Structure 1
């Protein structure tokens, strides 16, 4: 019998807690994260399943100057687009993360999420400069000392994005086991043409998303924002 089959989860509550305490952290402390810790998290997460074990993920870890210089490049591009929206055509997204047309109930959840977050931060409708500044925080990794970028070989199919989702969740749960928090970020997709050459990705690679990793700032108001979830009864059908 293999180790995986015979392993007993001695503390199921801790597994549940790691999953349930994960949230999109938007303020981090400058406390560094060791390379060994990051490597451990990635090794654990690499056990995520993938169709026929293709393991489609490729990870770029940004720290120090590599992180800071990317931040400055993308923040400059983000500001330029804000000042001149016509420049947005120069930064096409790698793939359609969001739908072309929003419909209920998804648009309702999206609006609730956005206005709940902005409301907590004291940003009201129409305050575009403040909204831009908050969105800008994405491109500073919310001050996290570690930024992660994830790419996928363009030759792979859409199923590999399903595999990738399981890998990303595994990273976030493994990070919680180390006392760390994360924020997965699709915002970087708009600036993939800046990100990919910076990290040394080849032309065959597509940016999937970015992620902030570090120690959460427990004193930050924004980190009290935790999104609601639907009751199991609302998204589950029992077929017997």
Structure 2
């Protein structure tokens, strides 16, 4: 797959088929992604892959915790503490667009919560990945890990797979750290659902908008 096609066809898939993904395919994706650049080549990322009974057990613990209304204070702020434009409007259009695609009204709290709950079994994907880094590292390593996550998603497209990056897991870092036996310096950044897209699912037809390159680019000396 040409890199342009991989980038333009990548999307957040929110319903997967139960078709297994071979371990060799996962290792290929991660090996290619290992070529991601990082400051001074420190390669700060760690990957924890769950599937089968290990994934089922972890997801059940997560769902039980979610259903009891428990969560952790975040260890890092993914979003601004006080939203402002144009970012607030973009976020709202994304959320409202997804729920509209699913036929969920803005005031249907039960269905909105049920959809959000699906995060915690990786939207039915057969494979889940957790990305961590050492909490003693600095902001530059967040940038490095972001590029690594993108590399995983694009390499997955090259294998005919889809993904969904999921920050939602960061609010359950204590449980995940316990389940995966991670050390205290492991900072959970996000999860990634990995598998084959259910092309019949309406939510997978929702494609988010993008600003034109002209709107965010300034040229100098041209």
Q: Please indicate the TM-score interval, normalised by the length of the shorter structure.
A: over 0.9
- Extract unaligned runs of 5+ from structure 1: 1-12, 82-86
Post-superposition, which runs of at least 4 consecutive aligned residues in structure 1 deviate over 6 A? none
User: Match for 1:235 among 205, 216, 222?
Assistant: 216
Q: Aligned-pair distance for 1:232?
A: 0.4
2:73 alignment partner in structure 1: 92
1:80 corresponds to which of 65, 68, 72: 68
Per the normalisation by structure 1, the TM-score is: 0.91
Give 1:225's aligned residue.
206
Find the residue that maps to 2:13 and give its secondary structure: coil
Q: How does 1:35-74 map to 2 (within 5 A)?
A: 35-74=23-62
Give structure 2 stretches of 5+ with no counterpart. none
Residue 130, structure 1, aligned to residue 118, structure 2: no
Compute the displacement of 1:124 (Å): 0.8
Q: What corresponds to 1:173 in structure 2?
A: 154
Aligned match of 1:106: 87
Q: Secondary structure at the match of 2:10?
A: coil
Deviations 1:207-236 (A, max 9, x none): 010000000001111100110100001000
**Which structure has the bigger radius of gyration?**
1
Q: Note the alpha carbon deviations across 1:172-215, whole angstroms, 9 max, x for none.
A: 00000000000000000111111111112111110010000000
How many residue pairs get aligned? The number is 221
Tell me the SS of whatever aligns to 2:133.
strand
Which TM-score applies when normalising by structure 2? 0.98
Q: How large is the RMSD of aligned CA atoms in angstroms?
A: 0.9
Who is 1:84 aligned against?
Answer: none
| 1:125 CA drift (Å) | 1.4
Correspondent of 2:126 among 141, 145, 159 = 145
